[in-house]
Structures are given as structure tokens and as C-alpha cells.
Structure 1
Amino acid sequence: MSKSLRGRLVAAIFSVGAAGAIAAPAAAETLADAIAMAYESNPTLQAQRATQRALDETFVQARSGWRPTLSLSGQATYTESRTPAEALSRLGQRTIEEGNSATAGLSFSQPIWTGGRVAAAVSAAQSDIMQGRENLRRIESQVIGQVVQAYADVRRDQEALRIRQENVAVLQRQLEESNARFEVGEITRTDVAQSQARLAAAQSQLQVAEAQLGNSRSNYAAAVGRNPGTLEPEPSLAFLLPPTVDEAFTVADSFNPQLRAQQFAEQASRARVAGARAERMPTVSVNSGLVFGGPAEPFDRDLYAREFTARATVTVPLFNGGLTTSRIRQSIERNNADRINIETQRRTVLQQVTQSWNQLIAARANIGSTAEQVRAARIAAEGTRQEQQVGLRTTLDVLNAEQELRNAELSQVSARRDEYVAAASVLSAMGRLEARNLIPTEPQYDAKANFRKLRITWGWVPWEEPIAIIDRTVAVPPIPQPKDKPVEAPIAPGLQPPPVKAAAPQPR
């Protein structure tokens, strides 16, 4: 962990303080600001983008099978032969014989037809790349979902801390009032003890709320890259949400990144089946070579011989012990598994949409219930305090009424948070929780830009395209072409700050 990030996380722990004060920047921070920050700097998202760029290179590597190869080789040889003295006396040979030679060669090879092997590899690579783009969408949605949840958690816990602080203040005043009334004999020691017990419990709950806020702030810092300051209310997500769950199912079936990634995986494995079958087909290539050779020392160019060769090679596989047939069967079964997993993934997506939608409906209903609960609890607490003043209620009744009011306020805060997170979960399952929908004014990362640059790069040759056409069209069986899928158009207007309520006119 870097020192800067460690410092931010430590600051997230200690910035709450005993009174729950939060260090805030000069301007209030919005959810759009947090998402933009994470979209630019989140390490998980950055790593996935680098992974996708690495995956783009498989396209170039696959197409290299249509491109020529050129190599240069050189060799220098020195030999020494020693004859024993006894052999010299009998045969009259020299004792030492030396020799040297040097050769330099240039070889060129160009595939003409690979039987569809390279075409299948290129199709598989393209499908893998499209699958990687969907995985990048999935990671982006996950990161944005984490930001949304962390943002909502911090706001919930800040509000919960405020409620706990008010509760401690109210109970502190209640204890002072109980002590005063005990001094004049209006209540007993039991009433005072009850007030003391409730105040101690409230102080303990305040400490727990401070700790919870510190945890939420650390989660926010980990997702966004900086500590939260003064957070504006969450903007509405209604412009992205469908009116019915059936429409949510339809959108998810077309644009969910996990489902689309599995469909591209099936395309890739289908291309690999064709590639395995192409191993039975012959290959055609042309080769040429140029070799120079002669003595290395003394160097004399006139003593060097030159040899040039040119040949066309046709290679026909006949028998390899059943290896190719086994690979074909293996590829077919892998494609069957990928095809079946499409339905598995579709059911998982529908399950995610259903669960998220039900959570959203329940949270919305809970918001209305808790609002009514808070209204009634506030009236009950105020009435109980007034009735205590005339002797109709006990101290315990007042304490219970205050506790019910605080619990109702906490439930209302949690319900609002749950509703917003559930809405984000629905959008994530549908495939709409993306930066282009939420922060359209920010620069968007284009996963296809790097791929477009690799289309013609170092190693490309002009005759590569006609060879690719021959290799794909003459292949038996035909090589499947990868099919990209349409992307849902961005939905305006993006996250908008909540409307500012006009101040009520002051009476004159």
C-alpha cells in the first residue's frame, strides 16, 4: 500500500472525532464528482483497461500467420586436426591441419494458404477481444456501484451520527431535569437512575456511530481515492430506471455485460472448433533463400560462392496418431459448454434483475412507512413530555418515547440509503450503470481506440489482405465471422444535482 493511500485511510479513521466533525473541502462534493474521480483513477478499473489493451495484441499475433518471415543467419567455423607423432612417422602426414569457413544466409517464407488455421485464430482473437470489452464494462459497473454505495453509506452514517448526537443532548437535558425534580422531591431516585442508564446507552451508541462512519469513510476513500467532505444529496436515477420490471428484463437480456461476454466466449470457442478442423487441411507456402560461403581468413570476396533457392511447399497432414481428431472433439465439447453457459448466465442475470427490483420496491415502500413512523413518533414524544409536566406520564414514558423517535429517524435514514443502492443495483444488472450515462460530460475511455491503432502496425504488408481473403473463403469448413453486438445509446441527461429549494419568504 502506498504511503499516500495509507495516509488517506488513516485520515478517514481519525477525521470523525469525538463530536463527529468532518473535514470538508471548500465546495460541496456531488456523486458525479465522486464517480468521475473513481472513473479516472480507480486502480481496479485502470488494471482492467491495461488487461484489455494486452488482449488487443492477440489480434496482431493471430494475423502474423498471414505475414512473411525474414531471417538472417551467419556462421563462422574454425577446425584444427592434430596427427600423433607415430602416425606421422608411418604415414608421412602433417602433425596439424587447420581450416576455416564462413557462411551468411538470408531466408524468406510467405504462407499462401493455411487451410483456414490462421483465419480461425483471427476470428477467435476478435471474439476474445469483444468479450474483454464486456468484462471491462462489468468492472466499470462494479466500481461505480461501489462508489454509489460508499457515497450513500457515508451520507447515511453522517445523518445517523447527527441523530445520535441529538439523542445524547436530549438525554443529557433530561437527566439534568430529573436531578432538579429529584432535589425538590417530585420524583424518586429510580427516575434519576433510569435517565442515567439511558444516557449511558446513548453515549455508547454514539461511539458505535462514530466508528461506523469511520469505516464508511475508509470504504469511500478506497473506492474514490480521496476522503469524503460535505456530500450533496444523492441525485435522482429515475431517468435510467425503466417503468416496469419487464422492460428491465428486456434491457438486461440485450445489454448486460456478463451475458454478452458469455455470448462472445461462445463465438470464440466456435471459431476454435473450425481451427481444430482446419488442422486436417493442407498448407501452401513459398520459400526462398540466399547463402554466401567461403574461407573466413584470408577474406577474399572472389572466393565466396553464392547459392539461391526458391521453392513452393505443399504440406498435407496424413496421420498423427489421432491427435487432430481428439483436439476437434475437445473443441466441440468446450463450445457446447460455452453455449450452455449462455443460458446459465441469462438465468443469473434475470435473477439479479428480479432481486434488485424487489429490493427497490420494498425500499420505496419502507420510505413511506418510516416517514409516517417518524411523524407519529415525533408527535408522541412531544405529547409525552407535555403530559409529564402535569404528572400524567413518568420519566420512563418520556425516555421510551424519545427512543422510539430516534429509532424511527434512523430507520428512515437507512430506508433512503437502501432505496438508492437498490436502484443502482437494478441499473447494474441492466447494464446501464456506466460513466457514459452518469457523467456524459467527462472524457470517456474508448476501449476500441487502441484496437483501431493495431489494425495496421509494424509487420503489416500490402499482400496480407488478399491472402486473408483466400484463407477464409477457401477454408473447409467455413470459418465463422465474429459478430459484434449493438450498444445501447447513452441516456441523457446524466446525474444532475438536486434542485435547490427556494428559501421561504421571511415575514415582515
Structure 2
Amino acid sequence: MRLKSIFIALALAPAAHATNLFDVFRDAQAYDAQYAAARAAREAGQEKAVQGRAGLLPNVNLGGNVRYNSIESSLPGGDADYDSNGLSLTAAQPVYRKQNQVLYAQAREQVKIADMQFRVAEQDLILRVAQAYFDVLQSQDNIAFIDALKAAIAEQLAAAKRNFEVGTATITDTHEAQARYDLAIAQEIAEQNSLNIRLRALEKLIGKPAGMLDSLVDNKLLKLEPGTLDEWAARAAEGNLQADIQRIAKTIADQEVERHRAGHHPTLDAVADYTINNGQDFGYPQVDTRVASIGVELNLPIYQGGLTSSRVREAVANREKARQDVEVATREAGLQARQAWLNVNSGVARVRALEQALVSTQAQLDSTKLGLEVGVRTSLDVLDADQQVLSARRDLAGARYAYLLSGLSLKAAVGSLSPADLAEIDRHLKPVAAK
């Protein structure tokens, strides 16, 4: 039943080999453009600390000039043309600049945001890889279901034709079996197209054909950490990465108020300067100067047209916005955790129910086959029972994929999702050939 899906995947990726979930994630880390953009953004964010610290360090500048000078004077012999040049070296060390100190503190918080945003991108990549991976497996399962169904229908169609020829069945049985077979062909075409699309979506993540993917063969469900709905929601409120980013943004907003208020503070710098000027005119002796100075400079803002006070009020309003953003992100994190927790628990119940349904439908199929032998059931009844068994197997596999995805989403909601979780799922995956 799985052979056709195997051949399809191999035809789409002839040079690829069996791949597990962690392998796909590793390839996506190296290729996915969205993740690469996040990595570059983190590297850019790291520079914020360097830029912020620069405001606390000395500022040294070297300057020079070369000039041609022309003097016209009413004094006798006062006209002159001459060249001059100069060289200056200046240095300033901030002694007290409150705004620069706050900017450095903000820069360090911005570095934290850059790191956290990269972690968000990593979690997003994990979820996208898992979703694409399980989508492909689901399509392969659907094709396997259709293949098995076609085989069963073909067998019943052949039997109906034989029975009609010998007069033990009506043409209605043949027509119904033929109609079911034709419908299965249509379903197979649609599902093969869906598989191709999902393989292309996975290829978009990793930059190459995925090849044969390991399939879920372990009936054991992964166990998550224990906890009630409210406990997981509380964990999300504290550990959700987006909520953490907003909390850091609130800290930066607090510091922004402080920075603008510092606009009313004086500034004090230690300064040093060394200047060389060389001048020469025709008819006069050359004049050279060397000037060295060192001291402190004090600047006290008195009135700037209300600009500083306006900026303080703006920063206070933005601080309140940041506080509300924290509240929104915290509530959203709690909602995400609750939804994922409910999906996980309902997923467990659905898997258990489908496992029981598979047992029941298999028993029904066995009974229907026996009824056919004794003449109380028709071949179409057997076909219906066989289809129910196959549907139960397909739905059970889909329920397991959904459960695993819900578990990953729950961990993402509380900020604990990591590549190790994919490696844990790989323990329950096996190459198709090993099944």
C-alpha cells in the first residue's frame, strides 16, 4: 500500500535519501531566507551595545588645512599673497552626560531584544518545518489509503462482473463498484497534486528535494510535562518570548523618559587641543604658532523653545503604550497556551478514540467477510467495511500528527520550544523501508 507513495517521492527526488525531522530542520537553518534574515538582524542588533558605549568614551579628531591667502590693504606695502597650513588634534572625554549613560543602558536592552527575536525566529522555523514535514506524511498516508481502497474496489469490481456473468448478481453491483473505482481515481489525482504541492513547500524551506521522509511508526504518544490549563497559561505569561520582548521594550520606554528628562541636565566634558599653524607671506617673516590647551567645558541648557519638555511628554505617553503592549502580549501568550493545551488534551482523546475505532472497524470487517461467506452480506458490504478500516487508519495517523504539532505549539507558547524537541519526535520516526 505504501509502495506507490514511495515511488512518487523517489521520482520527485531521485538523488535524495531518507530524512528525519531534525535533518530537515538543520537543512532549513542553512537555507531558509526568513531565518537567515533573522540571523542578520541579530548580528546587527549586537552592534547597538557598541554604539551606545561610544557615547561614554573619548572622542578624538585630527584636522588639517592648507590655504592660499590674498591680502589687500590700504597701508603701504600691505598687499600680500601667501600660503598657510595648519594641523589640529582635539580630544573630548564626557565626564557627565546623563543622556549618553541612558542611551548605553537602552542599547544593552536592545541587544536583548535582538537575541530574543532570533529565538522567536528559531521557534517559528521549528513549527514551519514540523508542519511542512507532517503535511507531506499526511499526503503520503492519504495516497496509501487511496491505493488500498482502489485495490479493494478493483477486487470487488472483478467479482461483481463475474457474478453478473454467471447470473448470481445484478448489473447494479457492477455499476456501483465501477462508480466507486472511478471516484477513487479522481481522489488519487487530487491527492497526488496535493503531495506535489506540499513537497514543493518543504523544498522551499530546505532548498533541495526532501527525498524519503521517515514516517511515524511508534504508537506511543509523546508525554508533555504535567500541568493544568491554568499552570501552563501562567508559564506562558512569564516565559513567552513575545511577551518578554514587550517587557524589555517597556524597560526601554522607561529609560526613554529618563533620557529626555536628562535634556535639562548640564553636561561636563574634559577637553584637550593641540594646534599647529604655519603661515608665510612674501616680504614678511614667517609666523608659526603652536597652541596646546586642556580643560573642562560646561554646558547648561536654559531654554530650548519647550522642545525638551515636549519630548518628555511624548516619552511618557509612549511608556504608557509600552505598558499596554506588555499586557496585550501577556494575555495573548496565555490564550495561545490555553488553546494549545486544549488541542493537546483533545488530541490525546481523539487518538485513543481512533485507536479503538480501528479495532472496532477491523472486527466489523472480519464479521462482514464471514457474512459474505454465509450469504447474509454482499460484496459491497465488505467493500464498505474495508473502506472504514482504511479511513480509520488514515484518520489515526492524521490525529497523531496534529497531536505532535499541538505539543510543539504549546512549548512555543511558554517559550521552551527548541530543536531538541524535534530530536525527541525523531525517536518515534522510522524509515519507510523499515516498517
Same fold by TM-score greater than 0.5: yes
For the 8 Å contact 2:21–2:426, the answer to whether it is kept is no
CA apart distance, 1:180: 1.3
Give the counterpart letter for 1:211 in structure 2: N
- Aligned partner of 1:47 in structure 2 is 37
- Aligned partner of 2:433 in structure 1 is none
State the TM-score, normalized to the length of structure 2: 0.87
Distance in 2, Cα, partners of 1:310 & 1:20 = 78
Render the CA deviation track for 1:234-292: whole Å, top value 9, x for unaligned.
Answer: 58784653343343233323321111111111111111111111110000112222222
Q: Tell me whether 140-149 or 376-385 shows the greater mean CA deviation.
A: 376-385
CA apart distance, 1:22: 6.7
Identify unmatched segments of 5+ residues in structure 1: 1-14, 84-90, 440-493, 501-508
Correspondence 1:169 to 2:151: yes
1:101 to 80, 84, 100: 84
2:357 to 364, 367, 373: 373
Distance in 2, Cα, partners of 1:242 & 1:137 = 24
Distance in 2, Cα, partners of 1:387 & 1:280 = 94
- Aligned partner of 1:157 in structure 2 is 139
- RMSD over aligned Cα, in angstroms? 3.1
CA apart distance, 1:404: 2.8
Correspondence 1:336 to 2:266: no
For the 8 Å contact 1:269–1:334, the answer to whether it is kept is yes
- Larger proportion of helix: 2
2:277 to 293, 302, 312: 293
Give the counterpart letter for 2:363 in structure 1: I
Render the CA deviation track for 1:217-249: whole Å, top value 9, x for unaligned.
Answer: 222222344433333345878465334334323
Distance in 2, Cα, partners of 1:198 & 1:499 = 33
- Aligned partner of 1:322 in structure 2 is 306
Distance in 2, Cα, partners of 1:327 & 1:26 = 60
Identify unmatched segments of 5+ residues in structure 2: 431-435
For the 8 Å contact 2:6–2:212, the answer to whether it is kept is no
- Aligned partner of 2:340 in structure 1 is 356
Q: Tell me whether 276-285 or 168-177 shows the greater mean CA deviation.
A: 168-177
Instruction: Look up the SS of the partner of 1:432 in the other structure.
Output: coil
Render the CA deviation track for 1:35-88: whole Å, top value 9, x for unaligned.
Answer: 3333444332232122111111111111111111222222222245799xxxxx
2:205 to 217, 223, 227: 223
CA apart distance, 1:32: 2.6
The alignment-based identity, stated in percent, is: 25
For the 8 Å contact 2:341–2:410, the answer to whether it is kept is yes
Instruction: Look up the SS of the partner of 2:264 in the other structure.
Output: coil
Distance in 1, Cα, partners of 2:129 & 2:263 = 49
1:281 to 241, 244, 265: 265
Distance in 1, Cα, partners of 2:307 & 2:31 = 48
- Aligned partner of 2:65 in structure 1 is 75
Give the counterpart letter for 2:126 in structure 1: I
Render the CA deviation track for 1:453-476: whole Å, top value 9, x for unaligned.
Answer: xxxxxxxxxxxxxxxxxxxxxxxx
Instruction: Look up the SS of the partner of 1:433 in the other structure.
Output: coil
Distance in 2, Cα, partners of 1:188 & 1:308 = 116
CA apart distance, 1:400: 3.1
Structure-2 change in CA distance of 1:383 and 1:24 (3 Å): farther
For the 8 Å contact 1:152–1:420, the answer to whether it is kept is no
- Aligned partner of 1:419 in structure 2 is 403
Distance in 2, Cα, partners of 1:70 & 1:92 = 42
Structure-2 change in CA distance of 1:396 and 1:496 (3 Å): closer
For the 8 Å contact 1:100–1:295, the answer to whether it is kept is yes
Render the CA deviation track for 1:397-418: whole Å, top value 9, x for unaligned.
Answer: 3443333333323222211111
Distance in 1, Cα, partners of 2:356 & 2:10 = 28
Matched residue count: 423
Instruction: Look up the SS of the partner of 2:258 in the other structure.
Output: helix
Instruction: Look up the SS of the partner of 2:105 in the other structure.
Output: helix
